[in-house]
Chain A
Amino acid sequence: AQSVTQLDSHVSVSEGTPVLLRCNYSSSYSPSLFWYVQHPNKGLQLLLKYTSAATLVKGINGFEAEFKKSETSFHLTKPSAHMSDAAEYFCVVSANNNNDMRFGAGTRLTVKP
């Protein structure tokens, strides 16, 4: 079985400052890991994914995440926040052998002007 824990339910940053959204995972098998973003009243959009290739993954809109097996972490970062980044972010784990996806509880990112 696999699961993810998003360590912060809410993160607030000022525009132009770095973003860090934390995610720890648990998986019995080699996991695939994803970050999705959900803007208000919208569906979910894939930001980036890790599937056992390079451990540092670059995604859309300047986001990136680093897979750290020793820490079972997959934190999402961005050097400089924009107002348009305000949304809900979900960390997702999928075990390669069974292909279902398990979502974290989500982190709401607020960006202050």
Chain B
Amino acid sequence: DAGVIQSPRHEVTEMGQEVTLRCKPISGHDYLFWYRQTMMRGLELLIYFNNNVPIDDSGMPEDRFSAKMPNASFSTLKIQPSEPRDSAVYFCASRVVSEAFFGQGTRLTVV
């Protein structure tokens, strides 16, 4: 297995634009997590899914953020409209039993 795959690796966008981050979890993993990492706040859990169902989205900062998992092999995190303070590295992780595997992250810069 290639591990958790995130795309794009880097994204630069203008304020107000819609941004979509993508994640392909490891096959067979039943949990999927989205995290955001910034210097100021460290790693924050945004939302996680179990068997494609959102379980806890209390970490999603505001309504501009939304996440979906239409099937077991794909998830998206969308920001609309984007703002400069959304600039961060966004990580996706998938998990089975007790161990989570992380993707390489998407570095988002909103200018």
Contacts and interface: CB of A to CB of B under 8 A. Distances in A.
B105 A99 contact: no
Contacts, number: 47
B42 A101 contact: no
B45 A101 contact: yes
Contacts of A46: 99-101
Query: Which of B33, B93, B102 lies at the interface centre, i.e. has the most chain A CB atoms within 10 A of its CB?
Result: B102
What is the size category of the interface that chain A forms with chain B? Answer: 20 to 34
A94 B56 CA distance: 14
Interface in B68-111: 91, 93, 95, 98-105
Given A101-B33, A103-B43, A106-B43, A51 B48 contact: no
Interface residues of B, number: 22
Contacts of B104: 42-43
Contacts of B45: 100-103
Contacts of A100: 33, 45, 48, 55-56
B105 A90 contact: no
Interface string B35-55: 100000011110010100001
A82 interface: no
Contacts of B103: 43
A44 B31 contact: no
A25 B105 CA distance: 26
Interface in A65-113: 90, 94, 98-106
21 contacts: A32-B98, A34-B99, A34-B100, A42-B104, A43-B102, A43-B103, A43-B105, A44-B93, A44-B102, A45-B102, A46-B100, A49-B99, A94-B98, A98-B56, A99-B31, A99-B48, A99-B95, A100-B48, A100-B55, A103-B35, A103-B43
